[in-house]
Structure 1
């Protein structure tokens, strides 16, 4: 599970891999700008939470914007009052008024895992390489960075889940939203976990359940991949077949 940690003026990404006994931590540059997921506007990453509060949906704004921009699957968000640090997360996870979409049960389990990790000095702190950023200068002379296409190559190496990789699933992404490029962005997110996307298309003639959002159908058995799609990508399963010779997963974006 990847969790965005939003601090007072900083942001970080917390990687939790209990099954691999790994906790990772990635700090975001203070001058990072990202494209809002449902807009053409670019905002400082540190302002995403404030923007999300204004539009009355801070968790979705933070998770989808960071996930699509960086090319990773982001499951949850935690807003702490101090600057981002593992110590700050440990301190605030028990607070009653903590701003997060984690359940209380998850908060307790995560804190226990983090305490054990810090005590055993197994925290993996990762630096983002400069090659994954494009540098731009604003008219007032201020310099900022944004993720470039190389970022997806870096995330594929750093965010893979062994349980997903071992299922060796072929996946097709069908973008029916009308948003150009969204299918490719979601494909990069899924590939960062270890899934193998073999096709990205916009086939408007495809049959899919009514409604908007993320849906998927499965041919075969891929329990870990299916669980990630449901629990971390908020996708709904609407079809499963066991026909011999037909294997893989199709994801529809509507």
Structure 2
């Protein structure tokens, strides 16, 4: 004898199984949101619970901004420091240049001055010679007076300080080779010195001629006086009876 289940065919069983599966899935699907809601409610309740500790203060970030006055003061301070540094740099550069110039001058002087020659009083003699040149050309223009004093000083330096003057000439020759303008100036000075020398020679010649002429005139006058005295003596010897004053007056009239 067959049971009621045996009378059901396979299709009916499959349909029943599908319906049961769908019902179970719907129940599970509905249970998930309910569980999530309960969990969220529990978390909310927990978060709303007051704490026994004070809440930490939030970190405060303070951004300081300078005022306009501070900005201007900082700019002026920076400008003053820059100017001071620049001034120090210029002063250091100038000091180094002066030091180099001083060393060059000291070395040049040591090369010029001869060790076996006394600068004093020979340099004084050279200065006196230069002054004499100025006195000689005192009636000329200032250029000729300068050239005359220079020529006299040069001649005196060659006499009193020959080695030092030679060393000075060597240094001047080096400078002329280094700077051609100095060579041109030296040539012009030499020309002027030559002109002054010619003027001095002409003046000395004129003075010598005037001196010789004065000597001749003095000699002539002395000769006339001598001849007058001799004639007077002769006349007095011839006319001894007359007075000498009368003879002198007679001769002067003649």
TM interval, shorter chain, is under 0.3
TM-score by length of 1: 0.18
Bigger fraction of residues in helix: 2
RCO higher in 1 or 2 (8 Å CA, sep ≥ 6)?
1
Question: What TM-score do the two structures reach when normalised by structure 2?
Answer: 0.18
Going by fraction, where is strand more abundant, 1 or 2? 1
In terms of Rg, which structure is larger? 2
